[in-house]
Amino acid sequence: MRRIGTIPNALDARRFCDYLITLQVHATAEPARDSDPKGVAAEEGPHEVWVRDENRLDQARELLDEFLADPGHARYQVSSQARDILRKEEAERAKRVAKVRKFNPGSGVAGFGGGMSNQRTPLTVSIIVLCVLVGLLTGFGNPRPSARADQTGRRTPSSELRIYDALMFVSRTDLVRGQSPDDDPYVSIRKGQVWRVLTPALLHGGIGHLAMNMMGLLFLGGVFERLHGARWLALALLFSAITSMLVQVHWPPMNNGGPSAVGASGAIYGLFGFFLIRHHFDPLYPVQLPPMFQAVGIGFLLLGVLLILPNIANGSHVGGLASGMLLAAVIPSHTAPRRRA
């Protein structure tokens, strides 16, 4: 919060703060620091006005100048309207908190952790099932190189390898033909195979890799879907997955950049970035990441970027984190789906 000025008495200060609230500028008034320290005079004497919305400070200062010029004007008689607004905000907050508690009663982290079911988070569960299915069809990141030889003795690629190749950012067929991704990482996409900007998120480099990412998706995706609905979760995952993959493609090769990365971790870091800073843009947001989870997520990213952990798609993680933070700033506050009567 930032102090924008001082009003001579408490009554006018409260009246001005009420006026700001009706303009969706949240403000509070506190006794001035240099007022009577004994307390009685301080409560009724000069009050400092503090504004929470950093991006509306200039507007608030202009409004304060107008108020000080004519504090008795009728437009400032809005105390009842301000109380109604505050009651509605408190009711909305209580509703959202109750929604999270219903989702996971008794949780110490306001809804993070478990208690999800297919009925409550159908998109999250469907994506997990899809990733597991893709894992089964591709040998969990280790596809068999070729099927049995035919009657002529020729070996054709196995179905696992063909599916894996079709979902990679760059087709291995293009690599064999000498069209190196170092020269043009978009060689396959330029042929019209635009799905490749997204489908690497469905592939994983082993059962452990898949399990870790699916736990993250269950943990973060379930809460996101519960609060915002399946459509917003789909948008968040698509945006984060595509953005993180594009960042990974252009990330320095010496820091594990390149188009050969696989996994849903970029999209999951998008959700992580969203929850990490969402409350800064929506102070009434009912959940925050537990400090331990914040430390683990940021620590894992840094260990990868510093190359302490090998074979980590650092560009994907950084791109996903940045895309999630962007979504935290632009997704409207009231995006939970409404039930039809």
Residues 291 and 181 in one domain: yes
338 in any annotated domain: no
Residues 145 and 249 in one domain: yes
Structural domain range at position 210: 110-330
The pLDDT score that the predictor gives to residue 276 is: 96
Question: Would the pLDDT of 326 be above 60?
Answer: yes
CATH code for the domain in which residue 39 is found: 3.30.70.2350
Per-residue pLDDT, averaged over 25-39, amounts to 75
Residues 137 and 237 in one domain: yes
Residues 43 and 128 in one domain: no
Residues 294 and 214 in one domain: yes
Residues 122 and 237 in one domain: yes
- Of 62, 77, 92, the residue at which a domain comes to its end is 77
SS3 string, the chain, reads CEEEEEECCHHHHHHHHHHHHHCCCCEEEEECCCCCCCCHHHHHCCEEEEECCHHHHHHHHHHHHHHHHCCCCHHHCCHHHHHHHHHHHHHHHHHHHHHHHHHCCCCCCCCCCCCCCCCCCHHHHHHHHHHHHHHHHCCCCCCCCCCCECCCCCECCCHHHHHHHHHCCCCHHHHHCCCCCCCCCCCCHHHCCHHHHCHHHHCCCCHHHHHHHHHHHHHHHHHHHHHHCHHHHHHHHHHHHHHHHHHHHHCCHHHCCCCCCCCCHHHHHHHHHHHHHHHHHCCCCCCCCCHHHHHHHHHHHHHHHCCCCCCCCHHHHHHHHHHHHHHHHHCCCCCCCCCCC
Alpha carbon 143 to its chain centroid, in Å, reads 33
- Of 77, 92, 121, the residue at which a domain comes to its end is 77
226 in any annotated domain: yes
185 in any annotated domain: yes
Question: Would the pLDDT of 62 be above 80?
Answer: yes
Residues 174 and 277 in one domain: yes
Determine contact, residues 112/226, Cβ cutoff 8 Å: no
99 in any annotated domain: no
The pLDDT score that the predictor gives to residue 149 is: 62
123 in any annotated domain: yes
- Of 55, 77, 99, the residue at which a domain comes to its end is 77
Q: pTM of the full predicted structure?
A: 0.68
The pLDDT score that the predictor gives to residue 157 is: 82
Percentage of residues in the chain with pLDDT exceeding 90? 63
93 in any annotated domain: no
Residues 250 and 151 in one domain: yes
Count how many domains the chain has: 2
Residues 269 and 174 in one domain: yes
86 in any annotated domain: no
Residues 30 and 159 in one domain: no
Per-residue pLDDT, averaged over 282-304, amounts to 92
**pLDDT (tens digit per residue) in 82-128:** 899 888 888 877 776 665 555 443 344 444 544 444 448 999 999 99
Residues 148 and 262 in one domain: yes
| Inter-CA distances, 65 with 68, 76, 290, Å | 5, 13, 42
Whole-angstrom Cα distance, residue 278 to residue 39? 38
Per-residue pLDDT, averaged over 308-312, amounts to 94
Mean pLDDT score of the chain, rounded to an integer? 85
Residues 208 and 72 in one domain: no
CATH code for the domain in which residue 248 is found: 1.20.1540.10
199 in any annotated domain: yes
**pLDDT (tens digit per residue) in 218-268:** 999 999 999 999 999 999 999 999 999 999 999 999 999 999 999 999 999
